[in-house]
Structure 1
Amino acid sequence: MKDIPLHQLKERATTGLEMWRYYAGDMDDDDQAPLGAHRDDHYIFFLIEEGSASLMIDFTEVVFHHQTLYYVLPGQVHQSLGYNEARGWFIAVDTMLVPPDYRKVFEGSLALQQPHALNNDQMQQCRSLLEVLLQRCQEKDSVPFNLSVTHSLLQAFIGMVAGCYSCAANPIVQSTRPMEIVQQFKRVLIDNIHTIKSPSAYADMLRVSESYLNESLKKVTGMSVSYWILNEVVLEAKRLLYYSELNVKEIAHKLGYDDHTYFSRIFKKSENITPLSFRASYRK
């Protein structure tokens, strides 16, 4: 292959969420064969109930045991090594549905996240919440407010995961300078995306050269400074389109664009759909 494949959640799910529960032996089915090395444009959360599993993430093998949580960040290269002996949950989530405060927790450990062991009470809470969430995902569209309820349950689960990682005393792996730069960049990006779009401005904020910032991001995430800036703009636009009643012109201005037609063009170029069509598809 010429490049590492990038899997997009929108190609598989129209609500920003894909989830299933898997059991030991499921991978014997050819339709459930593990995927090769790839990136995703979304978050993936795993909850292992019983057994063990393993995943290769950015050339590091991560092993999960029973009653553990784990997540994969957008852009991380990963590949399943073995889930055939495990029972648990898989949850893929559009980044738009992950609140910024939670993202800071997850992305603050970029390339360093470790499996988090749950106690019995935490395990039961997560399992119960996911069972309700899966049931709502399987409900018919005719059920009143089903999508809103589904997303609320999803964010409750993500909040529980963020809380676990925020309070965890997991051992911290030695961080390299590029990793530190990337972590700092993503924090300031989330805080300043409404007003700052210039790669050089972010480099100045971090007191590094633009070329070094770009080099660090490519080394750790595989993506450039400009990619992450545009990605954050589009993510914030999606949130405003989904959660607010602002029109496209107002959203463009809120994101720092005086020309709303230019904003619409870059959104469509990124998502292959206009802002209004995106809003309509998510609110159906």
Structure 2
Amino acid sequence: MDVFNTNTLINEQTGNLAFKLSSFEDDCQFCSLQRLNYYSLIWVKKGSGTAKIDFTEFDFTADTLFAITPYQPFSLMEKEKIEGVVLHFHPDFFCIHKHQEQVACNGVLFNNIYRPPYFCVDDDIRSNFEMVLEQMRTEVQKAELAQYELLVSYLKIFLIIASRAKAKQQPESLKDAPDEKEPFIIQNLKDLIETHFKTKHSAGEYADLLNISPKALAKITKNHFNKTMTNLISERIIIEAKRELYLTNKSVKEIAFDLGYDDEHYFSRFFKNNADISPKVYRDTVGFARAMA
């Protein structure tokens, strides 16, 4: 692994990585499938390649920033030699859910099943990123009074800049609509999933609500999201389950019931199949149980 200028903070109470800022000169640390228990912001400054995130592949070029959530499976394979910067932070270090009103990155950078998990970094954003990252590098090496507070402040600035930039860029999956009706169907579908994901778990139910055939709905979701309806529904349920496991002390059985599952064991298998980790292990490593330890 060719990594340099690495600056790392460890949570002394838990032994978990709290904050890490490093540079990379190849794809060695990303070429095998990763499932990390912290957030990752990976800025590819040079080179190109293919990213595999969840079960979708994306081609990328220089000046692409990826935003990866805890336990989201991903890998990067270079075509042209890649170089860049990676910023990791653990939910114990900075909780994006608790600071949503201040930063508004949840649903934009992270946990958005409708947008690709990356955006392009233009000249203006690049200069702002470089300035904030340099301040982070300087501060992480000091170990002085209020280091945590200052690093969190810089992290907030970085996340706000990134969220604003991504919000301005149209996701590629929504650009080429096959006909003029589909954008309205897509918006209605997103609204319906948000309203009913706790009670309606099948593609057929959403097709009925939209008054179209399941086959037509499958074609639309494939064209716009490169995912199936089952993927979209499942991902929304998993996002909510992770929030509950992270922010509350509800039992897995209670969370399962709130999300429309009467069988706790079935829900646990569903969660593990989609998140690659059991609800209990997720809570123990990044969730409420860890926060209270």
Partner of 1:102: 108
The one-letter amino acid paired with 2:66 is: Y
Partner of 2:129: 123
The one-letter amino acid paired with 1:89 is: V
Distance 1:223 1:130, change over 3 A: farther
Deviation by residue 1:53-81 (Cα, 9 ceiling, x = unmatched):
223468985432xxx45337879997422
Partner of 2:12: none
> How big is the shift at 1:117?
0.8
* 8 A Cα contact 1:109 1:183, kept in partner: no
Partner of 1:213: 217
Question: Please, which of 72, 90, 95 is the counterpart of residue 86 of structure 2?
Answer: 90
The one-letter amino acid paired with 1:81 is: K
Question: Please, which of 61, 74, 79 is the counterpart of residue 63 of structure 1?
Answer: 61
The 5 A counterparts of 1:1-284 are 20-22=22-24, 26-27=25-26, 32=28, 35=31, 45-48=41-44, 52-56=46-50, 62-64=60-62, 68-71=63-66, 79-84=77-82, 86=83, 88-90=84-86, 100-102=106-108, 109-110=115-116, 115-119=120-124, 122-128=128-134, 131=137, 135=140, 157-167=158-168, 174-177=175-178, 185=189, 188-218=192-222, 223-271=227-275, 273-282=277-286, 283=290
* 8 A Cα contact 2:48 2:81, kept in partner: yes
The one-letter amino acid paired with 1:123 is: F
* 8 A Cα contact 2:40 2:89, kept in partner: yes
Deviation by residue 1:208-267 (Cα, 9 ceiling, x = unmatched):
321232244456666432233223322321221112122223212321234434323433
CA distance in 2, matches of 1:76, 1:222: 17
CA distance in 2, matches of 1:77, 1:217: 24
The one-letter amino acid paired with 1:116 is: V
CA distance in 2, matches of 1:166, 1:174: 15
Deviation by residue 1:154-180 (Cα, 9 ceiling, x = unmatched):
676444312112235899984133995
CA distance in 2, matches of 1:76, 1:220: 21
Distance 1:108 1:261, change over 3 A: closer
Distance 1:260 1:226, change over 3 A: same
Q: Which has the higher helix share?
A: 1
Partner of 1:8: none
- Please state whether the residue corresponding to 1:162 is helix, strand or coil: helix
> How big is the shift at 1:91?
5.1
For this pair of structures, how many residues does the alignment match?
A: 246
Distance 1:247 1:211, change over 3 A: same
> How big is the shift at 1:39?
11
Structure 1: runs of 5 or more not aligned:
1-13, 140-145
> How big is the shift at 1:106?
6.0
CA distance in 1, matches of 2:272, 2:110: 27
The one-letter amino acid paired with 2:108 is: Y
- Please state whether the residue corresponding to 2:61 is helix, strand or coil: strand
- Please state whether the residue corresponding to 1:101 is helix, strand or coil: coil
Structure 2: runs of 5 or more not aligned:
1-15, 98-104
* 8 A Cα contact 1:102 1:159, kept in partner: no
* 8 A Cα contact 1:242 1:279, kept in partner: yes
CA distance in 1, matches of 2:73, 2:215: 20
